[in-house]
Amino acid sequence: MTAPANLAKRFPADFQFGVATASYQIEGAAREGGRKPSIWDAFSHMPGRVYQGHTGDVACDHYHRWESDLDLIASLNVDAYRFSIAWPRVIPDGRGAVNEEGLDFYDRLIDGLVERGVKVFPTLYHWDLPLALQGYGGWTDRDTAEAFADYTTAVVSRLGDRIDALATFNEPWCSTYLGHWIGKHAPGEQCLEAALATVHVTNLAHGMSVQAARAVRSDIPMGIVLNAVSVYPGSDSEEDMAAAERSFQFNNGVFFGPIFDGAYDNEFMGALGEHLHVQEGDLKTINQPLDWWGFNYYFPATVKHDASKDAVFPATIAVPSTNSNVRTDIGWEIKAEGMSHLLRQVYDRYDNLPPCYITENGACYNMGADENGVVNDQPRLDYLDAHLTVLADAIDGGIPMKGYFAWSLMDNYEWAEGYKMRFGIVHVDYETQKRTTKKSGHWYKELAAAHVSSVSEAAE
């Protein structure tokens, strides 16, 4: 384990340490304040979709406990807080009337962050599409992109004067592929054609959202958060190397390409492009210059070529890596170097890539408090330490990094896993809603404080 003071010195003076959450995972109050259902409200209430039928109806009750939660954030000495704004709180039907009571909540939250000296990093979409829009096709329908731009305008008009950096989407890979192809996330569809349609509509919505935000306030640093997949070939054979490239394009290139280069990959388009329904001018709209981008990293992927006759692009098979026995409680492989592997890949590929934040990184370990009320989550601490060390090495290697957000501030609703899986650096007792900072949280607090001290010492 690296001493926090020593690790902190490896990061630039303007580097920011933060914590992250998402609206449906922590807010609760699902039927309060004028909020209407999202696709996740519907999905979680469907039998068999979520572990033991858990829902986000109450979650961490952050909607009512936001002030004490902000005190908790401030106590961790972090520079910034990344959270998401719930579209169904702001425009409950997805289109039409703005719910001022919903905006009031985020107004108070942001004012509270500003008062505590914590920078404000909202995300406009973290998977909670207003349910009313799903009835019209949701993210498969181009009109949803226009509705998202209108929602962006409403948020930025009210809150934009106190936003330090704004993300349009969080992890569109999940909302498109997991939600519409694999079916593990809302809305639970299992159709590749639908998933590909949502990829393009989401990209279009991103571009339109950036335009809408800048029309109101041109000074907000705009970005998007991508859970890009760090793909390794299963062997050094030509077939597996080509498979890894196809996997990269299918999982990453469909977002990086149009957003940063204004084009989809040719091989991908040749295989699946008809399902995107690209129209004239779309790529120009998507390709808005950005001020930053976010990378959410948890685990890598290793693939080999799928030689079966009915294989569909990307025609790959997932295989275990040499490191595959080292896993977190949710079953995800631990490979810290996968973070820098992906970062080097994308900065080599895309000329227009702005500086990056690690907007999520963390580990699922489910230990609770001992008889003394202490949560000793040493494996999570080791995970954070290893990944931050790799990140410092990447910065030394010339990768332009601006910050790191630990996932998550506190244990919360882990989507289809319900409350079974815990990612927080703060423990939550869901019966009492008591928050207890874990060992990893105390270490991260020391790291953030040490970074502030090292910057102050360097300035003297």
Report helix, strand or coil for 300. coil
DSSP string over 255-287: HHIIIIIS---HHHHHHHGGGT---TTHHHHH-
Backbone angles phi, psi at 48, to 5 degrees: 85, 0
Q: Which of 8, 67, 20, 81 is nearest to 425 (CA)?
A: 20
Of 27, 171, 333, 414, catalytic:
171
Angle at 381 between CA 377 and CA 386, to 5 degrees: 150
Say how far apart CA 211 and CA 289 lie, in whole Å: 10
Characterize 65-91 residue by residue with b for buried, 16 or more Cβ atoms within 10 angstroms of its Cβ, and e for exposed: bbeebbebbbebbbbbbbbbbbbbbbb
Which amino acid makes up residue 431? Answer: E
**CB of 439 within 8 A of CB of 381?**
yes
Angle at 151 between CA 60 and CA 171, to 5 degrees: 55
Assess whether the previous peptide bond of 289 is cis (omega < 30° from 0): no
Of 27, 245, 333, 360, catalytic:
360
Q: Which two tokens stand for residue 292?
A: 């930053």
Q: Is 446 a catalytic residue?
A: no
Q: Is 360 a catalytic residue?
A: yes
Active site residues: 171, 360
